[in-house]
Structure 1
Amino acid sequence: MNKNGPVIIIEDDSEDKILLKEVFKKHTYPNEIIYFSDGQKALDFLIEEDVLPFLILSDINMPKLNGFELRKKIYEDARLQEKCIPYLFFSTAASQQYVIDAYSLSAQGFFVKQSTFGELEKTIVLIMEYWKRCAAPNNF
C-alpha cells in the first residue's frame, strides 16, 4: 500500500461514478483517482503498469470480470499480492452471501453504497481516513 498512490475505483454505473467524483473532488485528497468500468481493464492496468495503488474500491456486478473474479485473480498473483493493496467491495448488491464471499477472498472490507450524497461522502471519508492511518508491510 502506497498512501500517496492512486485510488483505483472499478465502477460501471455512470451515476455512481459521477457521485464518487464529486466526493473526491470536494475532499481534495492528494491521491490520483483512476476509474475503470470493468474488472478486466483494472486487472490489465495493475499487471502492466508499475504502480502501487493506495487502495481499490470495487463494485461486484460488472461486465467482463466481476468484483469477486478480480479479487481472486489479484489474490492469486504473487506479484500483486506483494503490493499489499487494500481491496474493498463497494456495492449496492449486498447480501449475507456476498459478504461471506468477499471475506472468503480476503477482502479488507465490504461497504454498501449509500443512496444519498451525504451518506456516500461519510463512507468515503471514513474509508480514506482509516487506510491513511493504517500501517502495511511495505510502508517500512
Structure 2
Amino acid sequence: MLVEDDSDDRDLFCLIVHDISSAIECIQFSNGKDALDYLAITEKIPEIIFTDLDMHIVSGEEFIIELKKDKKTKDIPIYAYTTPFMFEHAREVTKSSVAGCVYKTSNFHDLEHNLNEALQKHYSLTKELK
C-alpha cells in the first residue's frame, strides 16, 4: 500500500513495484484519511505500507500513529516514502515507528533498488522478487 498525495509519485512508485514483481498489488491512496477508512473496513490487510510524511488532511506522521494504535494494523511494516529533509525533521516517535525510509529520488534505478530492498525484507511472495 502506498499513501502519497502526489499523483506522479504514486504512478512512478507503482510502476517500479510492478516492474519488481507483477505479483504485488500496489494499492494507492492520495491521503491518510482515505487509507485509514479503507483499512478499517477491509479484510485484506497489506503486507507493507509506504507513506509520505508531508500530506494534507492527515499527515504521514498522524497516519503512522493511527496505524500503530490499531491492533489490526499495528504490526504492518511501515516505510516513510519521503525526502531526506522531511525524514530528518520528523518526530522521533515517527522515526522509531517505521521499519525504514525509502527516499524519493529522480534517479529511477536508485528508487528501484531501494524499493526492492524494502520489499525483499518484508514481502512474502511465492516467487522471487527482481
TM-score scaled to structure 2, two decimals?
0.84
TM-score scaled to structure 1, two decimals?
0.78
- Paired with 2:25 and 2:87, the residues of 1 have a C-alpha distance of 31
**Counterpart residue number, 1:33:** 26
SS across alignment from 2:86:
coil
Describe the shift of the 1:23–1:79 C-alpha distance in structure 2 as closer, same or farther (beyond 3 A): closer
Mark the runs of 5 or more structure 2 residues left unpaired by the alignment: 125-130
Identical pairs, percent: 27
- Paired with 2:65 and 2:46, the residues of 1 have a C-alpha distance of 17
**Counterpart residue number, 2:5:** 12
**Counterpart residue number, 2:94:** 102
SS across alignment from 1:98:
coil
Q: Residue type of the partner of 1:32?
A: E
- Given candidates 65, 72, 79, the residue that maps to 1:79 is 72
- What do you get for the CA RMSD once the two structures are aligned? 1.8
**Counterpart residue number, 1:119:** 110
Moved more, 22-31 or 113-122: 22-31
Describe the shift of the 1:38–1:100 C-alpha distance in structure 2 as closer, same or farther (beyond 3 A): same
Matched residue pairs, number? 123
Mark the runs of 5 or more structure 1 residues left unpaired by the alignment: 1-7, 134-140
